[in-house]
Amino acid sequence: MKKTVVLYPGLAVGHFVPMMQLADILLEEGYAVVVALIDITMEQNIPFAAAVDRVTASKPSITFHTLPRIHNPPTVTNDVQLLLGYFELMRRYNKHLHEFLSSLPPRSIHSVIMDSLSNVALDITKELGIPAYSFFTSNASTLAVFLQLPWVRTESQPSFKELGDATLNLQGVPPMPASHLIEEMLEDPESEIYKAMTNSLSKNLEADGILVNTFTSLEARAVEALTDPQFLPKSEIKMPMLLCVGPLVEGAAETKEKHECLAWLNEQPEHSVVFLCFGSTGAGNHSEVQLKEIAVGLESSGHRFLWVVRAPLGDNPEKAFGVHADPDLHTLLPEGFLERTKGRGLVVKLWAPQVDVLRHKAIGAFMTHCGWNSILEGIMAGVPMLCWPLYAEQKMNKVFMVEEAEIGLEVVGWQEGLVKAEEVEAKVRLVLDSKEGEKIRARVMAHKKAAAMAWKNGGSSRTAFGKFLLDAGNLGKELRHA
């Protein structure tokens, strides 16, 4: 009988998709894969529900088990209470996850891999004696920061918010302004969300191992720190096994109908187009003022561009998980912009096939919000990046990209809330026209080659994945005989 790996994904597209790439590798290795899925309806989170539908249709070898709905679930909306609601939702689903895991033949379960934000489920796997691993969908550098934060400040010290742009010197990462931490850690240390986030970060240390969507050579400094026996400040706390199993990146779209932008790219010279795309959630929407600044900057640069535009959220932040309004480009962009840049630029509404676009030979640069999936897609395409962080851990990712890996340039002004047209123009020209841009491309190309090697036989990620399979198998035997 095949051993079964149970996956317990997070409820966001950026967390779900890489875990499904992990599922493909498990299937290739001869394991059965069951996804324990919390039932999120289209009305609650349209992008996530659509991603689930797409995967269930395209990956028939994966078994999806939908956990029963709970009564009166906490509201999960795009506001400051988002993570509190999420943590509560995960906690209340522990009962149904326990029932499901208990229904499986005990000897059939190889391990459970859970999203790092769903790690309250570690209480269930520990009770049932099942090997359990946390899946961290961002990078090792961010993980290094997160695991140190609960011990960085004492009760008598200022909060991270009070530190402002003061530099934090943490193991494994370049010096970083305190203001670049995730929003939840900039709250009052006595607040519910700060304590909940700190507890969640620390909870990952209870896992039997942490799988990270990165590869060792890309983040050698962070990996060295995380595997240092002295990494954690308290000797009684043991760091779980670190397993770098990336890059887990979605492949090119398998559709008969190709997006219009790909035909347009076919007509453009090699490495001549800057691609602008800022993520799949509403938090990536720019204001009308900002859209106009970007437009002016692109027009003034004289370079070719492909730009994904969505309507500003305005006073409806809940649209982040709902239907995005079709943007009126003639209203949102400067008068005559589309006509003046016709042929040289293409503006696409709402969405473009990012993986396909980035891998097209015409793309010369990628202006990104610095989400980790997008960064990996940029690396796998060998494309230099312009870094414009917006939310979550993206500001920390920007530091890694610019200061550590040197695969991108910072777009200045994002921290003040408005990037000026002159800055857009200058950075586009710098990355596409200058020697510095050529050096960045060379570094990204080197990482692209290293990423491909990581998953070949004997490569770092392939080896780490084999170590995970062996470790979980041995641990499962120990737990059954305990």
* Integer-rounded Cα radius of gyration of the chain: 22
Sheet containing 408-410: give its strands across: 345-349, 304-309, 273-277, 363-368, 385-387, 408-410
- Pairing of the two strands 176-177 and 167-168: antiparallel
Ramachandran class of 417: left when φ > 0, alpha when ψ lies in -120 to 50, beta otherwise: left
Return d(Cα 369, Cα 174) in angstroms, integer: 20
Residue from 115, 286, 324, 369 carrying the catalytic annotation: 115
115 catalytically annotated: yes
Q: Is 73 exposed, middle or buried (0-12, 13-18, 19+ CB in 10 A)?
A: middle
Return d(Cα 341, Cα 276) in angstroms, integer: 15
**Residues in a beta bridge with 306:** 275, 346
Residue from 15, 303, 324, 447 carrying the catalytic annotation: 15
Quickly count: other Cβ atoms within 10 Å of residue 466's Cβ: 13
Q: Which token pair is 226?
A: 């995380």
φ, ψ at 222 (rounded to 5°): -65, -40
C-alpha dist (Å) from residue 90 to 130, 197, 221: 18, 14, 33
433 catalytically annotated: no
Secondary structure of residue 188 in the 3-state scheme:
coil
Q: Print the SS3 string covering 279-333.
A: CCCHHHCCCHHHHHHHHHHHHHHCCEEEEEECCCCCCCHHHHHCCCCCCCHHHHC
Secondary structure of residue 259 in the 3-state scheme:
coil
Residues with catalytic annotation? 15, 115
